[in-house]
Structure 1
Amino acid sequence: MTHRRLLTAALLLCSTMGAFAEIIKPVLSTASHAAMDISALPWQPWEVGFSSGPEGVIVCDNGDDQQLRRGAGKAVELKQSTPTPIVVKAKSRASKISGSPDSNYSLYLDIVYDDGTPLWGRQTPFQTGTHDWEEQQVLVVPDKPIKSVQCWLLMRAHSGKAEFKDLEIYQLAVPDGSAVFDGVPVGSTTSYHGFILRDVAANSDFLSFSDGQAHGVRISTKSSTRHGAQCVEAEISDDSGKDRILQLVYTLPLPAAAWQWLTMSRPTNAQNAPDQPAPQQEYLNTVNFPCGSSGRLSLYPLAAVSAGATGRAIAMDLFTPAFGRCAYNSRSNELYVAWDIALTPEKNSATVKLFSFDFAPTWGFRSAVDALYRIFPEAFTARSKRHGLWMPFAKISEVQGWEDFGFAIKEGDNECAWDDQHNILTFRYTEPMTWWLRMPDDMPRDLPSANAEIERLAAGGDRRAKSFASSVFHNQYGEAPARWLDTPWCKGAVWSMASMPGIKSPDSHFRIAWNPELRQRLYGPERKADLDGEYIDSSEGYVTDVMNYRREHFSAASTPLTFSQIGQRPVIFRGLIAWEYARAIADDVHGMDKLMMANSTPHNLWWLTPLLDVLGTESNWNPKNNWRPPADSTMLFRRAMCGPKPFCFLQNTNFDDFDGKKVEKYMRRCVFYGMYPGFFSADACTKHYFRNPDLYNRDRELFRKYVPLCKRAGEAGWQPVTNARSDNAALWLERFGTNIITVFNPGEQRQEGRLSTSISATSAYDHVHQQELPVQPGATGGTTFSVALDPEDVALIELRP
C-alpha cells in the first residue's frame, strides 16, 4: 500500500468517527527491494540438526520427545556501512507440535554488528499444533551497521514435526523523510507531545486523540506530580463489543540538542562518558516474548538520555505494570512509552501510567536510576534488616557448625521454632502459576488420561484438582496446555494456572494459596509457628505458557490485556498474572509487618521487585564444567532493580566439578555485587550441597571469609552512583552505603588502578586482603588511592573519615 493510499484510508476512517484525529505518524508498507540470493549458502545444523525433504524443505522431527533440540540455519554476511533495517521471512508447516508458541519453535536471528557486539535472539514464533504452511517474519531495526546475521529455523523442547521452507532476507530501503517508530516504518519524523494510537489489526496509521478519541477508542487522562516527576495517567476504553488490538504510545519531544542514549554499562574510560548515538535510530533495552506488536518488553522501567549537564527520562509507573517498553527515537527526537493493549467485550478498558523527570547526568544512567529511587522510595525500601545466605528446604539445625555459613533466610517452614530461636527468617512456600500433577508411570501422557486423573482427584476433594476447572490457562485452541515432565519432584503433567485474585471461584488457584482463613491460621494469635513472610517460587513463570487465551479470565484481570504476536488475539501475559498474585499477597503481608520473598526474579520482569523484600534466583555458573558466571549487564540489572534489598543466589550445579577454586571465584563476585552465595542442587532437588558434610566442610573457611564481607556490603545498601572513578576501566567499581567501595578485576591479567572518589577519608581499609591502602587528598576534594588485583579478585574498601 502506498503512503497516499494509507493517508486516504486514515482520513476516511477519521471522517466516520465523528471526530477528526490528526495523522501523527503515517505507516509505510514494509515492502523493499528483492530478497537477497542466499540459495548457495550452506545449511548449518542446530544441535541434533535436521533432515532434507523434497524441494529443499527442512525437516525437524522430534517425534514424542520434548527434550530434543533440532534446527537449521544460514549465516548471511551483510557488511552494512550504515544501519539498515532488515526483514527475514520463513514458512513452516506443523504436525502435532506440543505446547504453546515460544522461541523454541521459531524463526530466530543472531546478529553481529560491525563493531563486533552482538544482538542475540530476535525471533518470531510459529503456531504450534497442526497447521499448513504459515509465514512469519522478523523485523530488526539495528542500532549499528550489521556485519552478519545467523538465521535459524528452530524446533526444540517441543514434540512433533516441523517443516521449513522459503527462508528469505531483505534489507529495507527506508525513504528519505521517513523513519522507524516503535518498530513500525512510518512516513514522518515529526515529533508530537501526548498520546497517539495505532490499530494494529488494521495496520493503521498512528493517530492523535481528538475530542478524546482515536480509531473509535476513547481516552481520559489526568496529570499530577510525584517527588518532582511529572505523572500522567490514562484510561482507554471501547464500547464496540469487538476485540481491539492496539498500540498506545505517549511521546515526549526533546529540545534540539546532541542527546546521548544512556545504558547501565561500565565506563570504557575514566571519564565515564557515554557513546554518542548514531542518528536516525531507535534506542531501547528489551527482552522478547511472543506478545504484542513486536514482542518487545522493557527490561528496565525507564529510558534516559543526556545532553551536556541535562538529563531527561521517561518511565512506567512502578506499581502500574503493562506489556510495553520505554525508548528514545533520535530521528524524531522523542522519548516515548509504548504499550501493546487488547480491549475486549469482557474487559473493554485499560489503565496505564507514566512519568517523566529531569536529572543531573554526571553518572550517566546510574544518575537516572538514583533519581528513580527518590521518586519511588517505597519501591526501594529495605524492609529486611537481616541479610545472609538462603537455605532451601534443608534444616539448618542439621548442618554441622551451621554458624559458620552465614544463614539468614529459610525457604520452607519445617523447623520454624528452631529458626526463630536462632534469628533465621522463615518463609512459607507457594507457586503462583503451576500445578504439578503426579501421574502413575503406566498412565499415558495425553490429555484424556490427565483429565480423567484430575476428575478422579477432584471427586475425592483435592482442592488443587478442583481449582483446575476455574483457573487453568487455555491455549490458542481453547485447550488446557500441559507439559509432560519427569522431574525428581513430579512425574506427570504441569499445568499453567491463572492465579489472579479476580477469579471468584472459592476453589480458585489463588484462593488455595491465600485466603483470610489461611492468613489467620498462619499469622493470627492461634498460629503454631512464627513465620516471617511468604515465599513465591518460579515467580516469573517457570514451565508455564507465556499467554493465557481463556476469555472468561479477561474480566478477572486488573492489569491490561495484551495480544499474541501470531494471530493478534487478546491474551493475558503470564508476567502480569504473577504481578497480580504477588501484589494481593504483599498487601496483606506488609500490612502485618511481614516480608515477601521470591525466586527467579528479577530475570526478565522489573515489576515484581517493588513488591518484594528478599529476592534471588537459582543458577548454574559452571554448566558442563565451563565457568560461566552471569553477565555483568545481568548482575547490574538485578542490582539496580533491587537497590538496597538483599539478593541471594542458589548455586545449582554439579558439585563434583565445582571445586574450592570455583567456590572462591563465585564468592568473590558476590562480594563485589553485595549479593549472597548460596548453594542447592544440580537438579533443584537431590544431592543437596548442605546435606553433604564433605562438600561444605571443604569450603567452610571460604564461607567464614567471604560471607561476612557480602553482609558488610549488602547491609550497607547498594547505591547506583559510585562516587568513585578509576583511571583503569578494566577495574569495575560499586558503592554500598556512604563509604564502602568494592573493586573487581573480571579479566585474565593483573590490573592496577588509581581510584578517585568524592568521599572524604583519612584512611582506606581493604577488608578482603586485610590491609590499609595509602590515601591522598583528591585534586578537587575527596580521596585518591591505588588498588592492584589479580584476575577475578575483589577488594572491599571502607573509607574512614
Structure 2
Amino acid sequence: MTRRCSMIASFGMLTVFVTGHGSRALDALPAAQVTEDTRTVTTTNRFSMTFDGRGRVESMSVEGKPVPIAADRREQSGWTVTDVQAGRSVNVRNWTSSSKGDSLEQEADVSELGVRLRVEYVVEDDYLRMVGTVFDETGKERALDLTFALPVDAAGWLWETDITDRVPIPDTTSTVSVYKQSLSAGLGPANSTRLTGELAAFPFVAISSIEEQLGLTLAVPADVPMVFDGGYDKGLLQLTVKVGTSPYYKTPNETRFEMMAFSHGPRWGFRDVLRRYYEFFPQYFTNRVPRHGLSTTYVSEDPYPEDIAFHLIDEPASQARTVDEYTNLGNVPFAREHKILSFPYTIWGQRQVFLETQTLIEDPDEAWKAMKAWEPDVPMYYATTLPALNYKTPPEHKEIIEASVVHGPNRKPVFVPRVYWHKNALTFPTNPDPDLFADRDVMTVGKFHFKYYRHLLEHIPDLAGIFHDSQYGWGLYFNFRREHFKYADRALSYHPTSKEVCLYNQFSLNESLEALREAFPDKLVFANGLRPNFVYNVFPSDIVAVELLDVSKLHDPHQASWYRTAAGPKPVIAWSYRDWDQPDKIDEFWQRSLLYGYALSARGILARPVDFDLGQERIGPELENAARRKYVPALRAISSAGWHPVTHAWIEGRTTLQVERFGPDGDGKVYFTVFNPEEREVSVDLTIQADALELKQLSKAVSLVPDHSTFPVSTAKDGRATVQVSVRSKKTQVLMLQ
C-alpha cells in the first residue's frame, strides 16, 4: 500500500498543527508547554481530529463539517488502558509529543498500571492509522485492554450493525455494542482450552447521521488481526483491542497494536464503511478467481461438469504412493479437460492418530503414551477429507505433534478423543504457523505443509492452489504454550475467563494463510470452515467456504449476510449436507443463497454410503441436479461480476425486500438480486442510480431467475432508472440490466 504523507500544511495529506501560544514547529516546543497545546491530524480534508495537550479529543470534523462533541464525555475520550487481571482502568493523560518523520508520535507513562503506551498517527490513503505499542514495566505477563474513544453527541444518529440493520441512537445516554455471533460447539470439549460464548463479528464500529451528513468509523486494520470489541457508550464511540504482553513473546514485554479512523457516507452507512475498507485493503478484496460455479469432490462422476468451478481432490487419492498416482486417483486430468480448478486437500490446525482400541482414550497421560506408541503399517503421503491426515513416516508425524500441539492452561498438550473415519482417534489441535521453530531443526505442521505444497505444485502445475480446511474447528483453541509465543507475528491476547495470556490459534491459522499467499502468489487459497467470528481468516482467502449444513443458517439475516460482507467480491461456497431429499428445502437453499451469490456445493454428487460421522447416508444427485440446472447460470454470472456493498439501488416504499448488486463485470453488465421474505408475491419499483453506476441507455432488465422474463426500464433526467418487477414469496429475482 502506498503511503502518502507530508508535514507540510498546504497540499499535505497529514497536517499537524500546534496552537495555543501561536503556531510553532512541533519539535521546537519546550516540553513544559506540551500540555497546554493542541495537535490536529487531518486525512485529505475528509476526517480531522484535534487533541488537547492531555490527549483528550477536543474537536472533530468531516469535510469541514464539525462533528457534535459530547462535552461531558471529553474527559473519557482518547486512550484508556485497562489492566484486565486487576480490573482497573486509567485514562491516559500525561502525553509527550514529538515529530517522527512525517507523522505525529505520542508517548505516556501509565505508572498506575505499570505500563507505557506509545502511539504514532500516520495517514495512509485517506484514513488515519494509529500504530501503537504497549510496554509492560513489571516483567510479568499482562492482560490489557486498549481503548480509543471519540466523544460524539450522536443523539438522533444511527448505529451501523451490518448491511441488514441500523439502530437509532435516541440520545447520548444510549448504549449499543458491536454485533456479536455466538460460537457453536466446534470440535472437541467445551472447556478452558477452547473459545466459547460470543465474539465480535466485524472489526469496526460506525455511526451515521443522515440529517447532518456525517459518518464516523473506528476499525482494526485488515492486515493486523486482533481480538476486538466496541460500541457506542453514552456519548463515546469506542473501539477496544484485547492484547497480552509476555517476557516469552517475540518482542519481550511489549505488544504492537493498530487501529484506524475514517469517515464514511451516511446515506449507505455500513455499506459505505465496507466500500472504503475494501478500497484500503485491495489485496484482500479482489476477485482473482478465473472460473465460477459449484464445488465438488468426485468431479468425474458429475453429469454436468460445466457447472463445476472448484474440485477438491478427495478419496481415493490418499491411497497414492506417487505424484502420478495422486494425479490420476484425484481426477486431475478430468478437471483439466473441463477447465475446472483443482485443489489438493490439507488440514493445518490438527494432527491425529488412529487407534486399534475399542474404546476412546480420555486420560491425558494415556493419550500421550498411545500417540508415542502409534506405528501404522504404511505411510499416507497424500491427504483427503476422510482420513484428514498425511505423513511420510510415523517418527516424523509424532515429531510434528510434539512440536506443534497447543497447550492448555495446565501447560500440557490438548487432545480430542473422537470417532473419525469409523475409527477411534486421538486428535491434537496444532499451531500451524510456518515460522514456528524456524530456528530449530524440528518438523512442524507449517513446515511440513509448505514442503508438501512445494512438491505438489512443482510436479502438478495444473493445480489451481491450496485447500486449507477447518479454520473454525481448530482455530477456536487457545494456546498457552509459551515456547510458541516468540514465533508469533500476531499479537498475544488472553483467555476471556481466566485472563491468562495466550495465543489464539485462529491467528496462527491466519499466519499460515498469509504465508501461503506470499509464497505462492500465482495460486489461489481456498479456506474452509469459516464462521462469523473468524473474519481475519476470511480476508487472506481467495475462495471462502462455510459448512452451513442446512438452510436454517440463512434465516438469520445477520449471519446470512456476514459471509458476503467478510468476503467482499470473492466467491463464497456454502457446503451443505442435509435436506437434499426434500425439493422444497433444496429450492429454499438456492433462493436464499442467490441473494448473496453463494455457490452451493454439489453435495448430491457424493452418492456413496459413507456417513462421515453425520448419521446419514449421502443421497443420490437427482433432486439436486434438477434444481441446480435452473440456477447455476445465474449464479455463475453474478459471482463472476463480483458483489459490491453499495448497491446504488433501493425498493421504493418497501423495506422488507432486500436488494444486492453484482458488477459491473468485464463487459460492463450490472446485476441485481431482490429477495422477497414476505408471505405473498409483490410488485415493486426498483430505483437505480444509473448515473452513479455509469449505466447509459438502459432499455430493459432481463430476469435470469426465475423465468427469463423482461421488464422495461424507465429513466429520468436526474440520472435515476426505475424497473417495476414482481417477486414471488420467499423467492429471489436475479436481474441483468441491458
Which amino acid is 1:521 matched to?
A: H
Q: 1:295 to 1:668 in 2, by over 3 A?
A: closer
Q: Secondary structure in 2 aligned to 1:611?
A: coil
Residue 442 (structure 1) aligns with: 358
Partner of 1:596: 525
Q: 2:247 aligns with which of 339, 345, 348?
A: 345
Asked if 1:312 is matched to 2:216, the reply is: yes
Structure 1 residues 692 and 698: CA distance shift in structure 2, 3 A: farther
Q: Which residue does 2:383 correspond to in 1?
A: none
Give SS of 2:621's match: helix
Q: Aligned partners of 2:172, 2:657: CA distance in 1, in Å?
A: 31
- RMSD over aligned CA atoms reads 3.2
User: Secondary structure of the equivalent of 2:514?
Assistant: helix
- Could you tell me how far 1:454 is from its partner in structure 2? 1.7
- Residue 576 of structure 1: aligned partner: 507
Which structure 2 residue ranges, 5 or more long, are not aligned?
1-31, 36-71, 97-107, 184-191, 315-326, 377-392, 665-669
Query: Cα offset for 1:411?
Result: 4.5
Q: Deviations over 1:347-402 (max 9, x none)?
A: 2221111111112211121111112122222220111121111113x2x1122x23
Offset at 1:572? Answer: 1.2
Partner residue, 2:728: 790
Shift of 1:458: 7.6
Residue deviations 1:577-607, cap 9 Å, x none? 22122222221122xx111010112431111
Pairs within 5 Å for 1:722-801: 722-726=647-651, 727-738=653-664, 739-759=670-690, 760=695, 761-768=698-705, 769-778=707-716, 780-800=718-738
The correspondence for 1:482, drawn from 404, 412, 415, is 415
Residue matched to 1:218: 116
Aligned with 1:608: secondary structure? helix
> Per the alignment, do residues 609 and 693 of structure 1 end up closer, same or farther by CA in structure 2, a change over 3 Å counting?
closer
Aligned-partner SS, 1:749: coil
- Aligned counterparts of 1:685 and 1:508: Cα–Cα separation in 2: 37
- The question of 1:496 aligning with 2:426 is answered no
Instruction: Tell me how far apart the structure 1 counterparts of residues 476 and 737 of structure 2 sit (CA, whole Å).
Output: 49
The answer for the alignment partner of 1:617 in structure 2 is: 546
Aligned to 1:111: none
TM-score, normalising length: structure 1: 0.69
- Aligned equivalents of 1:617, 1:256: Cα separation in 2: 37
What is the letter of the counterpart of residue 450 of structure 1?
A: A
Is 2:344–2:467's contact at 8 Å kept on the other side of the alignment?
A: yes
Question: Which residue number in structure 2 is paired with residue 322 of structure 1?
Answer: 226
Correspondent of 1:663 among 582, 586, 592: 586
Q: Deviations over 1:80-121 (max 9, x none)?
A: xxxxxxxxxxxxxxxxxxxxxxxxxxxxxxxxxxxxxxxxxx
The answer to whether residue 286 in structure 2 is matched with residue 286 in structure 1 is no
Query: Equivalent of 2:260, from 350, 355, 358?
Result: 355
* In structure 2, distance between residues paired with 1:229 and 1:683: 52
The correspondence for 2:488, drawn from 557, 574, 581, is 557
How many Å separate the matches in 1 of 2:457 and 2:340? 17
- Helix, strand or coil: the match of 2:630? helix
Give the direction of change, closer, same or farther, for the CA distance of 1:537–1:370 in structure 2 (3 Å limit): same
**Residues of 2 paired with 1:216 and 1:523: CA distance?**
50
User: What amino acid is the match of 2:369?
Assistant: A
The answer to whether the 8 Å contact 1:346/1:551 transfers is yes
1:431 corresponding residue in structure 2: 347
How far off is 1:646 after superposition?
A: 0.3
Match of 1:716 among 641, 653, 664: 641
For each residue in 1:652-700, what CA deviation from the matched residue of structure 2 results, as whole angstroms up to 9, or x when unmatched? 1154xx32232222222222211111143899992699x9998323443
1:196-215 to 2 correspondence within 5 Å? 196-208=80-92, 210=94, 211=96, 212-214=108-110, 215=113
- d(CA) in 2 for partners of 1:316, 1:464: 37
* 8 Å contact kept, 1:430–1:513: no
Contact 2:155-2:171 at 8 Å conserved across structures: no
The offset of 1:750, in angstroms, is: 2.1
Number of the residue aligned with 1:677: 600
Task: Map 1:500-515 to 2 at 5 A.
Answer: 500-504=433-437, 505-515=440-450
Which residue matches 2:610?
686
Q: Identity percentage over the alignment? A: 22
Contact 1:263 1:364 in 2 (8 A): no
The 8 Å contact of residues 434 and 544 in structure 1, kept in 2 or not, is answered as no
Aligned length: 593
Asked whether the 8 Å contact 1:261–1:277 carries over to 2, the reply is: no
How far is 1:779 from its partner? 7.4
Q: Are 2:471 and 1:539 equivalent residues in the alignment?
A: yes
Residues 108-257 of structure 1 mapped to structure 2, 5 A cutoff: 189-208=73-92, 210=94, 211=96, 212-214=108-110, 215-254=113-152
User: Residues 618, 293 of structure 1: CA spacing in aligned structure 2 closer, same or farther, 3 A cutoff?
Assistant: closer
Q: Contact 1:313–1:357 at 8 Å: present in 2 too?
A: yes
**Structure 2 counterpart of 1:521, from 455, 458, 474:** 455
Q: Is the 8 A contact 2:647 2:659 kept in 1?
A: yes
Separation of aligned partners in 2, 1:417 and 1:518 = 20
Distance 1:665 1:255, change over 3 A: closer
- Superposition TM-score, scaled by structure 2 size: 0.74
- Cα distance in 1 for partners of 2:721, 2:579 equals 44
Residues 241-295 of structure 1: CA distance to partner in whole angstroms, max 9, x if unpaired? 212121111223336764321122437xxxxx85344542143222467899997
